[in-house]
Amino acid sequence: MASRKQISYKQAGVNIDEADRAVALIRKHARSTFTQGVLTDIGSFGAGFQLSGYKQPVLISSADGVGTKLKVAFLTGRHDTVGEDLVNHCVNDIAVQGAEPLFFLDYFAVGRLQAEVASQVIAGVARGCRRNGCALIGGETAEMPGLYAAGEYDLAGFIVGVVERRNMLTGAAINAGDVLLGLPSNGLHTNGYSLARKLLFGVAGYKPDQPLPYDSSATIADELLRVHASYLRPIRALREAGLLKGAAHITGGGITGNTPRILPKGLAAEVRSRSWRVPPIFELIREIGNVPAADFRRTFNLGIGMILVVSKRGLSKAADILDRLDEKYYEIGAVVESPRARVNWK
């Protein structure tokens, strides 16, 4: 039976006025990232980008989310970092194939839209784009009542980059004897948060605003909300110098799961587990849960966010470049012959 009472979209849970206010705030953040290739403004049905200066351009794309790290943002009311996490994660995923980021699109979905929260999230996205020279040219803000718990949202990102075909990093040039350089992570980055939250909050009973047991100057939330690092600068510098043979972004799956993805058939990675110090947050999590070593290594990055492969002959030049960039690194192992691509822990 039809209702005689007038029921508006707002009464059904969707506030178009609030959406318009959110878009106005987001537009300001997005415009601050525009590069010369951007042809359309925020609000167009589709986003236009003009590609120029390449002879045989290959477009490299990727999509990702922030995962349950968002739960920490909800707990703390701190929404200005997860957007930068998202951009840096996506930038790293295409940088390991030699691509320069061109443009980025976000997807922000929520049960009840709050313009200020959306603005904080997209401010982080815009900051990440500016720092990586990437244009935020579009996205989607969706209000879907009943689909998300109160105060919660989901966030995903889509990136497109470009590389000359001859300069693509495929790992095909990697040989036995090549050196593995590990670049430090900035904490958990965006992986392993389901286990971390279960152990830190559920088992150990820590509160987000509680000081870290090993560093009273920072809280649990400070540690868990550290921004996922971007490795674009060191990858670009080593690639332009002709020294980089391959790179692996250490995300879900850890060093164990991600390093073999770039190795040619018949090669494996031999990793020296004591060649760097595992940051204390990982040791704290391991101790609370008595996490098995194999699971520990497949869940977390353990302090290494990116692995770069260079030849032994090029190691000195690569080290000089990283030193000039003030990029810390560890020589964590080597490529070895093996029947199948894998990681051998030493």
- Dump pLDDT digits (tens) for 132-176: 999 999 999 999 999 999 999 999 999 999 999 999 999 999 999
Q: What are the tens digits of pLDDT across the range 23-49?
A: 888 898 989 999 999 999 988 889 999
Q: What are the tens digits of pLDDT across the range 208-231?
A: 999 999 999 999 999 999 999 999
Rounded average pLDDT over 257-280: 97
Rounded percentage of the chain residues whose pLDDT exceeds 70: 98
Rounded percentage of the chain residues whose pLDDT exceeds 90: 89
Parallel, antiparallel or unpaired: strands 267-271 and 343-345: parallel
Please report where in the chains the tokens 């718990």 appear, as a residue. 149
pLDDT computed for residue 2 by the predictor: 59
The full set of domains in the chain, from first to last, is: 16-167 (3.30.1330.10), 179-345 (3.90.650.10)
Residue 1 pLDDT exceeds 60: no
Could you tell me the two tokens for 308?
Answer: 């770069």
Residue 18 pLDDT exceeds 70: yes
Q: Which long-range contacts (CB under 8 A, 24 or more apart) does 311-316 make?
A: 311/175, 311/177, 311/178, 311/179, 311/243, 311/245, 312/177, 312/178, 312/179, 314/243, 315/179
The reported pTM is 0.94
Rounded average pLDDT over 305-329: 98
Tell me the Ramachandran region of residue 14: left when phi exceeds 0, alpha when psi lies from -120 to 50, beta otherwise: beta
pLDDT computed for residue 171 by the predictor: 95
CA neighbor of 300 nearest in space, from 235, 244, 247, 256:
256
CA neighbor of 18 nearest in space, from 154, 86, 104, 111:
111
